[in-house]
Amino acid sequence: MALAELTVQDLRCIDNAELNLSPGTTLLYGANGAGKTSILEAIYLLGRGRSFRTRLNERLIRHGQGLCRVVGKVTYPLGSHALGVEVRKGGDHRSATAGRLNGSSIRSLSELALAFPTQIIDPDAHKLIEDSSTRRRRWLDWAVFHVEPGFASAWSRYQRALLQRNAALKTGSAPVSIWDEELAREGETLTAARERVLTALLPYWTEMVEDLVGLEVSLGFLPGWDRSASLGDTLAANTSRDRDRRTTTVGPHRADISVRVKGRAAREVLSRGQQKLAAVTLSLCQLEFLKHEHDLHPTVLLDDPSAELDHSRLERFIRRVRRLDTQIVVTALEKDFRLFGEPENLFHVEQGGVFRV
């Protein structure tokens, strides 16, 4: 799988850009602020339906425009897919994001992720360790989504039931227990899927983390409630507290991945550079797992990969990435950046313009 064609219109500082890519390495070079990361953001939007830099897709739209659009062609050994994403401004600082697959509108942006899996490693990678559980759940769920066929539908049903239960808790208009059965059933299903995948990832993590971080760092799964009781029983037991707080306080929407060093939270022990290495390891072990056990080769986006990595760790990181045998799109300041080998595609990005070299 590889992105073969990309068209970007009115995204960030990019007015209009067209790129033809090959399955190997593509280098985007240019000065800071030229628009290199915006191209990566466009590729990520095509595969995820959202940005990796902001929660609000409306911020992707170029100033003064009403919408931005990204179109791409993804090739496979036996065919290809045409993908498209459009972000349109709405009222009250809201936006609407719509996707198309092979010329037809899609019901869920998750259809893009199945057609074009992509992963990003950027200078903010440390936030995967440092920030709240939301980022770590998203990290795990991306892999679970690709290897557990029923996960996406269970997640959607769980989210709908959770919204209904929380609305009932806020308004008191209906007994919350009517949502507990569905919430418990789907929550148990998606939690079991998460546990299976994290267990399968652990050997890759253990083999890789000491090499890249230089420390023994453990991973653990926190499901969002005490598993000594079922989720259904736990929801019932916490109803009074949930009413007081007007939200559902237990369940897989509260799950987390614990990252610990000698029993302490990694964010309390590791330096920012070490946190970045640990986060990079999380992404790389996921990619190794998908490659070796599911023959899946996502496109890997690397934004300024040498930032904050010393020479020794950078060499190890490069070696790991090159072993993935997948499409890589990397940004750098200089044209002669060759850390990931001779690029098959070379583009100069300057003042929002993208020019093949």
pLDDT per residue over 232-247, tens digit each? 999 999 999 999 999 9
What percentage of the chain reaches a pLDDT higher than 70? 99
| Distance in angstroms (rounded) separating the CA atoms of residues 272 and 113 | 30
Does residue 106 register a pLDDT over 80?
Answer: yes
0.85 exceeded by pTM: yes
pLDDT of residue 94: 65
With bands split at pLDDT 50, 70 and 90, how would you rate the model's confidence at 92?
A: low
Q: pLDDT digit string (tens) for 273-303?
A: 899 999 999 999 999 999 999 999 999 999 9
Mean of per-residue pLDDT scores for the chain: 93
pLDDT of residue 280: 94
Does residue 326 register a pLDDT over 70?
Answer: yes
Domain 1-112+333-357 - what CATH class?
Answer: alpha beta
| Distance in angstroms (rounded) separating the CA atoms of residues 156 and 141 | 12
One-letter amino acid of 160: R
For residues 172-183, give the mean pLDDT.
89
- SS in 3 state form for the chain? CEEEEEEEEEECCEEEEEEECCCCEEEEECCCCCCHHHHHHHHHHHHHCCCCCCCCHHHHECCCCCEEEEEEEEEECCEEEEEEEEEEECCCCCEEEEEEECCEECCCCHHHHHHCCEEEECCCCCHHHHCCHHHHHHHHHHHHHHHCCCHHHHHHHHHHHHHHHHHHHHHCCCCHHHHHHHHHHHHHHHHHHHHHHHHHHHHHHHHHHHHHHCCCCEEEEECCCCCCCCHHHHHHHCHHHHHHHCCCCCCHHHCEEEEEECCEEHHHHCCHHHHHHHHHHHHHHHHHHHHHHHCCCCEEEECCCCCCCCHHHHHHHHHHHHCCCCCEEEEECCCCCCCCCCCCEEEEEECCEEEEC
Domains of the chain, residue spans: 1-112+333-357
With bands split at pLDDT 50, 70 and 90, how would you rate the model's confidence at 310?
A: confident
For residues 54-82, give the mean pLDDT.
93
Does residue 74 register a pLDDT over 90?
Answer: yes
* 27 closest CA partner among 350, 348, 352: 348
For residues 320-342, give the mean pLDDT.
90
Does residue 340 register a pLDDT over 90?
Answer: no
With bands split at pLDDT 50, 70 and 90, how would you rate the model's confidence at 198?
A: very high
Does residue 309 register a pLDDT over 70?
Answer: yes
pLDDT of residue 69: 97
pLDDT of residue 231: 97
Does residue 316 register a pLDDT over 90?
Answer: no
For residues 105-114, give the mean pLDDT.
91
pLDDT of residue 308: 66
pLDDT of residue 93: 59
